[in-house]
Amino acid sequence: MDIYQTKYLEKLKGSRPDRLIICGMGGSGLPGEIIDTFKTELGITSEITIWKDYGLPQDEAQSAKRKAQNTLYVFVSFSGDTEETISSLKAALKIKNAKVAVITGGGELKKIAETHKLPLAVINRDSLTSREATAIMFTKLVEMLESFGVISRTLPIPKPKNYKKSAANIMRFIDKGIPLMYTSHQLKSLAHIWKVLLNETAKVPAFENELPELDHNEIASYESRLALLRPIFIEDPSDPPIIKKRANLTKKIIKGLSGRTLVVKLSGKNRFERFWNGVYLGEETATLLAAKEKVDPKRTKSIDTLKAWLKKR
């Protein structure tokens, strides 16, 4: 079976919207974050809003008539049954002449899209989880946006390499602790991807922050309660010089207080390739940690339980 199938894309071909709202929760929200991270490299001039909630942003509701003419709404849900994303799609469909597209693996979102003949990409879920399908969903989102005239340049996603040695080192550093991912602003979406992977795959509490913001608050937390903290600095060669300087000083202070830091230096020919190498490294780390902790890397019982309770309300 094909990885994905498309329908009705011609309805928005060359529409060239000047505003883009991408709605998606959890792993299904990651492709939109990556699009936003690399909007310059992709030649995107449209304003981008990433939405992770019910309904639509407040300004959309207040000025829907004006925005409907130049805004593209894209709804991404791997399961197709994400409550928040369905709510957002229904809100968009109330806007007259709204430009709407859907990427999903099936479920209610697919039914709604087919009923309204919306531009649609249906992904073969097979045995994947949403976080494992990040590259597939990102690729389809790029193809959609290119067709609609939003993207003027495409970037090939690099193939995964062998990251087991590096991932094993990170796994040993995390051990029984709580990983804290620190990056520059340009890598904040990568830090979030690592958090998602560690939370869902390895069932490990994990958090993220970015420089320089963490130097104004979180750095002070290392003055106490250090036993479980595992600070991980993810760095790219293209990080701004002032951020590199701050990172070095921050690492020095945190290591002096906690006795530990880990630096992950991304490698690759360009920023996009290095980013995806970082994604693959995060995936491998989370998988190894799940095996070490003897937890099911695919099943998320607490998330499934919460969804079941919400359906009964």
| pLDDT of the residue at 1 | 39
- Condensed to tens digits (0 to 9), the pLDDT of residues 285-299 reads 999 999 999 999 988
Residue listed under structure tokens 């913001």: 213
Write out pLDDT tens, residues 37-51.
999 999 999 999 999
Of residues 52 and 154, which shows the higher confidence score? 52
State whether 31 and 114 are in the same domain. yes
Report the C-alpha gap between 197 and 194 in whole angstroms.
5
Going by C-beta distance under 8 Å and a sequence separation of 6 or more, which residues neighbour residue 66?
Answer: none
pLDDT at 91: 95
Please check whether residues 272 and 189 belong to one and the same domain: yes
Burial string for 9-26 (b: 16+ CB within 10 Å, else e) reads beebeeeebebbbbbbbb
Tell me how far apart the alpha carbons of residues 248 and 255 are, in angstroms, rounded to a whole number. 11
By C-alpha distance, which of 168, 159, 174, 157 is closest to 285? 168
Q: Are residues 10 and 95 in the same domain?
A: yes
Give the pLDDT band of residue 63 (cuts 50, 70, 90).
low
Same domain, yes or no: 119 and 69: yes
Amino acid at 213: E
Instruction: Indicate the number of domains in the chain.
Output: 2
* Distance of alpha carbon 276 from the chain centroid: 12
Token digits for 197?
Answer: 């992977």
Same domain, 138 and 66: yes
Q: Over range 211-226, report the average pLDDT.
A: 93
> Looking up tokens 């320089």, which residue turns up?
212
- At 65-123, the pLDDT tens digits run 555 568 999 999 999 999 999 999 999 999 988 999 999 999 999 999 999 999 999 99
**By residue range, what is the domain housing residue 133?**
4-147
> Higher confidence at residue 207 or residue 13?
207
Residue-wise pLDDT tens digits, 3-33: 567 888 888 888 889 999 999 999 999 999 9
Q: Report whether 251 contacts 235 (CB < 8 A).
A: no
Higher pLDDT, 261 or 154: 261
pTM over 0.85: yes
